[in-house]
Chain A
């Protein structure tokens, strides 16, 4: 029940992230969540978008270094302790979260090495996982 994330290699310089975002906006692709990490020289910017296949194809067409990968998407209850509950379920199952970031509304994207076992761990802790279609429905009309 994973969702697709698009990662893009971007040099850490003014205007470089804008180029990627322009590709999205010109094609009417909506960004629903993102995380930008940086080494000082270059960054990896990760996006959750509404049309990941199209986004990847457009980036490849313009020669960008981009790739798709799978991440888990969790819907958090909008209440104290919800995030802790997710992290605890993973840690008790011995699952390391490589990175995670929040999406529009109360969704967070989690990157783990083994998606299936993380899914089981989270489901066992009564945590709601969201697939691509459900995410699209839930976020319809939610702007980032």
Chain B
């Protein structure tokens, strides 16, 4: 029977599995030594095999032999999405196609997709990274794990699938969609673990409730989330209503897919980076220079043993800070704060920077609202106008225009206090905002230049 995990200080971490204690719990010195040895090899590999890197490094006057310390990574060129898109589909591949055993592609919502290819060795690394994060959440060979991501080109489906199998868990490859069937399968097969985007998990929860399914007595124990950021309010709501423990992981197609870092149960707002496979930097998004230790900046990742497509210093555009003290869960691998904002999803409203995650946080703290929201920005009247659509919970409805408009004014005030921009708040019926199986679309920018 499912039940949410107790607070971190009441968890006996010695009872939770650690997939690779030799690496995950080793000293910081040893991790850095592993990283340096791999970085030297990886840079030489990229230079020798990928013309794009050879040209950039030659332009910068840096040779593989110049990489002698981890700090020397700063001498290397950055890679961004554009590089991968310009070389579509296979221009960045470092091995003959016969050595590629699987390919994936990003969703391609903004132009051509990013195509990535994996060698057999890459698949080993990937499934190992997933095995680590699944065990952080307590998954073992006894678990029955139901997939609610789509399989297909998206890295989430197969990536998680292989990692769960690696620890001997049983995969139930249901795939995305058909929510009633998901609930039926949980019931019929005794599913213990659900893999889903957080917004789809909430949808499954709501549909189950509407069907009269009793989540409290379900076999479901946990959710492994990914595919989109999971705001704390949404996670808490799902944990409470489905009686499960939920963790989420971080990753991106360009450097591997899911599994770059994963949440342990000691720090629920952070994720352990698989540092023996990924060298991380945190830089000022404007200058590209490193920020101070523990400061917020843009995450830059260099996969350290990627054979299919080596990627040096990938600009994730994700904002985070990294902590390196040991963790109560027993792991010593660095923890990145969960990504709540991207440098490029920042909205500029009448000159003020606004992040959707700020709106998310304010909404999560208002009891009378569901965690769903949508931001619409337009400039029909000449000035930027930000409208935040929020869903009232049925029990929060009052039969009085006065009270309802007072309530929407309160929501607007709370948003203004955080955003420093006064939004228009639009109350929407319960269930009125779209739920999606994929990435939830929270922002619609309708501004025109004219």
Contact = CB atoms under 8 A, between A and B. Distances in A.
A and B, one complex? yes
Interface string A55-85: 0000010011111010000000000000000
A11 B394 CA distance: 13
Contact of B399 (A16, A42, A46): A46
A65 B399 contact: no
A94 interface: no
Contact of B429 (A37, A64, A67, A69): A64
Given A39-B405, A42-B404, A64-B394, A11 B432 contact: yes
A44 interface: yes
Contact of B397 (A37, A41, A46, A65): A65
Interface string A84-110: 000000000000001000000000000
A19 B247 CA distance: 37
Nearest to B425: A41
Contacts of B405: 39
A16 to B, nearest CB: 7
B394 A60 contact: yes
Interface residues of A, number: 20
A141 B124 CA distance: 76
B180 to A, nearest CB: 16
B123 interface: no
B205 to A, nearest CB: 13
B122 to A, nearest CB: 45
Contact of B401 (A5, A44, A60): A44
A55 to B, nearest CB: 14
B429 A65 contact: yes
A63 B431 contact: yes
A131 B397 CA distance: 26
B399 A44 contact: yes
B398 interface: yes
Among A11, A39, A42, A46, chain B packs the most CB atoms within 10 A around the CB of: A42
B396 interface: yes
A66 B397 CA distance: 7
B203 interface: no
Contacts of B392: 9, 65
A11 B399 contact: no
Contacts of A49: none
A50 B390 CA distance: 33
A16 B431 CA distance: 12
A42 B391 CA distance: 12
A44 B430 CA distance: 14
B210 interface: yes
Nearest to A43: B401
A10 interface: yes
B399 A7 contact: yes
Contact of A69 (B396, B399, B426, B430): B399
B434 to A, nearest CB: 14
A132 B238 CA distance: 42
Given A10-B429, A11-B432, A65 B401 contact: no
Nearest to A68: B399
Contacts of B397: 7, 9, 65-67
A65 B394 contact: yes
Interface in A27-49: 37, 39, 41-42, 44, 46
Contacts of B431: 63
A69 B428 CA distance: 22
B117 to A, nearest CB: 45
B426 A65 contact: no
B429 A44 contact: no
B427 interface: yes
A101 B104 CA distance: 62
A4 to B, nearest CB: 12
B429 A11 contact: yes
Contact of A63 (B401, B404, B430): B430
Contact of A16 (B210, B398, B429, B430): B429
Nearest to B429: A11
B210 A42 contact: no
Interface string B259-283: 0000000000000000000000000
Contacts of B400: 44, 98
A39 B115 CA distance: 49
A67 B401 CA distance: 14
Given A9-B392, A63-B210, A63-B394, A41 B427 contact: yes
A44 B394 contact: no
10 contacts: A5-B399, A39-B401, A63-B430, A64-B429, A65-B392, A65-B393, A65-B396, A65-B430, A66-B394, A69-B399
Interface of B: 210, 392-394, 396-401, 404-405, 426-432
Given A5-B399, A42-B426, A44-B399, 14 more contacts: A7-B397, A7-B399, A9-B392, A9-B397, A11-B429, A39-B401, A44-B404, A63-B210, A63-B394, A63-B431, A64-B430, A65-B393, A67-B398, A98-B400
